[in-house]
């Protein structure tokens, strides 16, 4: 059951914030390689990268909920308020 959910979770995460998701993936891979290879500096670098990326993700998520979406500013009135202009066509009778 959980194996079927992982691809869906990864797809939604990468669609929302592809850069942050990539940094999270890189940090997690570094931490796993450093932990399995007993390279504690690589493990620490991976965990630090992972932590910074997660904090960045939550700060971006929190900021997107606080800021209201901008209201579009229109420079021209809507079409319904303008009178419809006649179509310009060339008649064969009125050739210059």
pLDDT 10s digits, 26-51: 888 889 999 888 888 998 999 999 89
Q: How far apart are the two ends of the chain, measured CA to CA in Å?
A: 78
User: pTM score, two decimals?
Assistant: 0.53
Minimal CA–CA distance to 61: which of 5, 13, 10?
A: 13
Residues 47-60: pLDDT tens digits? 999 899 888 888 87
Is the distance from CB of 51 to CB of 64 less than 8 angstroms? no
Tokens describing residue 25: 């993936």
Q: Is the pLDDT of residue 84 over 60?
A: yes
Q: What is the pLDDT of residue 72?
A: 78
């Amino acid at each position: 059951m959980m194996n079927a959910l992982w691809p869906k979770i990864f797809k939604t995460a990468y669609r929302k914030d592809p850069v942050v998701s990539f940094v999270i993936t890189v940090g997690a891979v570094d931490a796993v390689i450093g932990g399995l290879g007993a390279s504690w500096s690589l493990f620490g670098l991976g965990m630090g990268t992972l932590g910074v990326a997660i904090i960045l993700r939550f700060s971006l998520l929190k900021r997107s909920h606080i800021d209201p979406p901008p209201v579009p500013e229109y420079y021209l009135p809507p079409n319904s308020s303008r009178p419809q202009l006649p179509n310009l066509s060339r008649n064969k009778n009125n050739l210059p």
